[in-house]
Chains A and B, each alone.
Chain A
């Protein structure tokens, strides 16, 4: 129901307004020194891990390819610093799994200038060459999805899209790195959008930015090309405005059909950070050796946005920003959907958009009393997918996981966490849904393996 004479900020239905803590949004991006040792995982993206092409003891230059892409759905890895390969083997990663990684001992005296590059005229490339060039940069979805950028941009020939949606919502509390990128690297962003439009065939692009970042909107507006193919649109500051489907609805009023990709409604979504990095790396002919990320949280003394070499161990990062000794919980990503880590030895990867440090007292207490569901319906009122988390929660408590999927659309849940955020009974709703989904996946696998031998 949108009346024509009632001008409203574009938005989606439902959602929440958490405390945003975007204080770091006004701080310029700063550069951090190299850690003495960098741990570079071969798999920082969704798809096949890269194939290592250096050996222990070999000297590598900053920007040099140290692992090659293994096929189309894969990305190369570049040396984030000049140094010597110290080890190749399994190392801890953020998810808790041990992953194959290359450890580099950094020559500390070296500058942070990228040593290996091949500047080129991107405009002269045709579509296929451009796709290959994008793969060579090693850029994945930098909002945290880590899907290889070139795979996302290469659409099947029968799919036609009319709009490239550029996601500058940054709806997670605390995170401001996208904000700073839009303000400080506006030209990179506009250039990157141009490349993405060329590759995907989108005739226009809309940049959606939450209205708590007026300086970003102004900066983009001033840099927009004159031909009008790119526009910027302020959207309401509300979580999860930056989720793909809610963003498309807010900007275009289109609902992506359940279970389908945004291309079904003629849209492709890319994150501002991803496109800004493409706009910077493609003409310079460089690889992804560092990224901008937000380091914040109550237990950080110098919160801000930092350029951090890929592979920097979190221990070093937190020492640099002065993590207080009270820091008990470290979150990668934002507080709504990010994950806690068990070890400070895990490195920053391409998908790390933020590192937040909390003292335990500032976090919701796990032992805080859980009450029975009082059926207040708050979760139903905030679910951006219009699910019924209250009912799902009651079923989860009875372990009716199959019924949750069959009758209450469990699989449409994308785990934004709004239900758990609002629940006055402190029922861990989304946490239960994650477990339910995992169990359903497992039983599906079991069923198919049982059926196979017949």
Chain B
């Protein structure tokens, strides 16, 4: 009998990186399906294109570095899907390819791959295309267009390196009532009109592909948190601090500042809080650190929305939180057992 020698522990849990990542992908499917139902072929094509680009880029960097394939850990799939969900539904596919490539290449591979990246790769991809294609990334199309399942939005199929055609004529043919062409946050900022909570919850607003259903995102997040595939404290801290900040401003000037519920439900805050801020590699590990990190993101999001030139601040708030993560971790190391101050009993 040949004996095997190992050091303890000889029993381990059945969780692994791929199981965690697979569950995140799984939980994103309802959100993705809802956007396809809203936006039709264009949204579907965008998700497939961006995800495929991310996978190909990841594999290409594996080859270049003579490493085994890392597609099996499913993290590139998450990056691709999440990135697509943050882009406008009719975003030109070739720009989606650029976003996907930048996300994986610059956001992840150059840092050394999964676990070593400092910033959320999907947000790096989005930040890049936001700077590179400022018009395309703010060109919105209405949900529930009549022909959404039979034809693409013209801008989707823009030839590579070409500017997308105007979509206004296409929108006129879709018999959609009262399409404003601006997101609720932009309308609040420039017209001081706030969307109703009902519209925000049911997806009847202009938004990025995956941002419209706050409730669906929250439910998927609750599932992940219940299965312990994400740290519930981060979204809790982000949403609580954003709501608190918004509430303080509204209390200061109710005529100008919107209600906390508008702040929570509009834009990409829910998607960012549940799926982006919780990216394990780019968030703190210490118990106190995750609360600080979440709180910073919530406050900065509201500040950018209220005082910045941009209408939406979630992306930069999370990237800032990512940048602070090493410092937060360093200054919130857990108190070691047995070093408590003597309690009076």
Contacts and interface: CB of A to CB of B under 8 A. Distances in A.
B285 A380 contact: yes
A141 to B, nearest CB: 18
Contacts, number: 160
Interface string A15-40: 01011000000000000000000000
Interface residues of B, number: 43
Contact of A375 (B20, B112, B280, B340): B280
Which among B6, B113, B283 has the highest number of chain A CB atoms within 10 Å?
B6
A104 to B, nearest CB: 25
B114 A372 contact: yes
Contact of A374 (B12, B114, B333, B335): B114
B17 A329 contact: no
The SS class assigned to the A binding surface is loop
Given A341-B3, A344-B1, A422 B13 contact: yes
Interface in B88-106: none
Nearest to B230: A376
A377 B3 contact: no
Contacts of B334: 380, 383, 386-388
A372 B3 contact: no
B19 interface: yes
Nearest to A407: B333
A17 to B, nearest CB: 9
Contact of B116 (A341, A372, A380, A420): A372
B9 A430 contact: yes
A25 B162 CA distance: 73
Interface string A420-437: 111111100011001000
A421 B9 contact: yes
Contacts of A408: 333
Contact of B336 (A16, A342, A356, A387): A387
A339 B7 contact: yes
Interface string A368-394: 000111111110110111111011000
B27 to A, nearest CB: 16
A330 B3 contact: yes
A153 interface: no
Interface string A314-337: 000000000001011111000111
Which among A173, A380, A417, A421 has the highest number of chain B CB atoms within 10 Å?
A380
Interface of B: 1-13, 15-17, 19-20, 73, 112-116, 231, 280-287, 290, 329, 333-340
Interface of A: 16, 18-19, 173, 245, 249, 255-260, 325, 327-331, 335-344, 356, 358, 360, 363-364, 366, 371-378, 380-381, 383-388, 390-391, 408-409, 412, 415, 417, 420-426, 430-431, 434
22 contacts: A258-B339, A328-B4, A329-B10, A331-B8, A336-B8, A340-B5, A341-B3, A341-B5, A343-B3, A364-B10, A371-B73, A371-B114, A377-B284, A381-B287, A385-B336, A391-B329, A417-B9, A420-B9, A421-B11, A421-B12, A422-B13, A426-B12
